[in-house]
Chains A and B, each alone.
Chain A
Amino acid sequence: MKVNIKNWNAVATWRWDIPEDDVCGICQVDFDGTCPACKYPGDDCSLLLGKCGHNFHMHCILEWIKQESAKGQCPMCRQKFEWTEQQNETSIDTTRDQVEPLEMGTEPV
């Protein structure tokens, strides 16, 4: 029997490469979702991974860090908030290699 595939749609899902079911402590939204200011998750609303081990949506933590009362400290542990090298810039492009495709599958036509 010969099967001709006429059409197929690829479907991919992704999530940030950090422990699942975790939420951003500032907005309380899943890391895989967006901060309250954004519409689309992923590159448009990336994460900052703190060297202290605490992660936040970039927009959330920057909102906090720019407050004088934050004193540059992590909201969780009050250590100086520094984020890991690969995300050294606040440009959304620096996080691109963090997106990891998890599943690829085909959808029945």
Chain B
Amino acid sequence: MSAQFATKRLGKELEKIHNSLPPGIELVSAENFEEWQLDIRVLDNNPLYMNQTYRLKFRFGSSYPIEPPEVVFVKLPDRAIPMHPHIYSNGIICVDLLAAQGWSPVQNVESVCMSLQSMLTGNTKNERPPGDEEFVRANRLRPRDIDFYYDDNTV
């Protein structure tokens, strides 16, 4: 597949994003077609995430959207990593949608943000994934290369 597939598709998405984004999602930076940053907020009163804004970093390969983007939460002085049983404290997200087996090329940056938003909205557990400390200490793999074991699909 030609590399311009990804840039053309991302160009289309950016055009749309500049026009409008759903509530609680804001574009922070998109200087190129390799890495974009967006902020997301949870819109309901979930006490775990109330009044918090979270920073997401998207990295796109040349096979996007046939292959999923790499999406992580980023820790900054004013941006924490949201507490969630599928989000490691280093920002790596373990979610089917972003893995090869759950990704679909009709997904896009906006739909991924909305899915993550609703993943937070629906969560009631003030927990990290099992083995978080060990994983954060030992992991040197990029998110795309990690073989997550989806042990609980209800959260």
Most buried by B among A28, A64, A78: A28
The reply on B135 being an interface residue by CB < 8 A is no
Minimum CB–CB distance for A16 against chain B, Å? 19
Return the chain A residue nearest B100 by Cβ.
Answer: A69
Given contacts A26-B106, A36-B4, are A64 and B9 in contact (CB under 8 A)?
no
CB–CB B1/A63 < 8 A: yes
The reply on A52 being an interface residue by CB < 8 A is no
Return the chain A residue nearest B4 by Cβ.
Answer: A36
Given contacts A36-B2, A37-B1, A64-B66, are A75 and B105 in contact (CB under 8 A)?
yes
Q: How far is the CA of A28 from the CA of B104 in the complex (A)?
A: 13
Most buried by A among B12, B13, B65, B103: B65
Partner of A25 from the list B16, B103, B105 (CB cut-off 8 Å) is B105
Partner of B8 from the list A27, A67, A78 (CB cut-off 8 Å) is A27
Q: Which secondary structure characterizes the binding site on chain B?
A: loop
The reply on B148 being an interface residue by CB < 8 A is no
For residues 22 through 65 of chain B, which have their beta carbon under 8 Å from a beta carbon of chain A? 65
Q: How far is the CA of A46 from the CA of B104 in the complex (A)?
A: 21
CB–CB A25/B1 < 8 A: no
Return the chain B residue nearest A64 by Cβ.
Answer: B105
Return the chain A residue nearest B15 by Cβ.
Answer: A28
Q: How far is the CA of A35 from the CA of B1 in the complex (A)?
A: 11
Minimum CB–CB distance for A30 against chain B, Å? 10
Q: Give the interface residue-count category, chain B.
A: 10 to 19
Provide the A29-59 mask, 1 if CB < 8 A to any CB of B, else 0: 1000001110000000000000000000000
CB–CB B104/A75 < 8 A: yes
The reply on A76 being an interface residue by CB < 8 A is yes
Return the chain B residue nearest A54 by Cβ.
Answer: B106
Given contacts A26-B65, A63-B1, are A36 and B105 in contact (CB under 8 A)?
no
Q: How far is the CA of A67 from the CA of B101 in the complex (A)?
A: 11
Listed in ascending order, the chain B residues whose CB lies under 8 Å from chain A are 1-2, 4-5, 8-9, 12-13, 16, 65-67, 100-101, 103-106, 108
Please name 18 pairs of A and B residues whose Cβ atoms are closer than 8 Å in the assembled complex, sorted by A. Answer: A26-B65, A26-B66, A26-B105, A26-B106, A27-B5, A27-B8, A28-B9, A28-B16, A36-B5, A37-B1, A37-B2, A37-B5, A60-B105, A64-B66, A67-B66, A67-B67, A69-B101, A76-B104
Q: A35-B5, A64-B105 are in contact. List 9 more A-B contacts (CB 8 A).
A: A25-B106, A26-B9, A28-B16, A36-B5, A63-B1, A63-B66, A67-B66, A75-B104, A75-B106
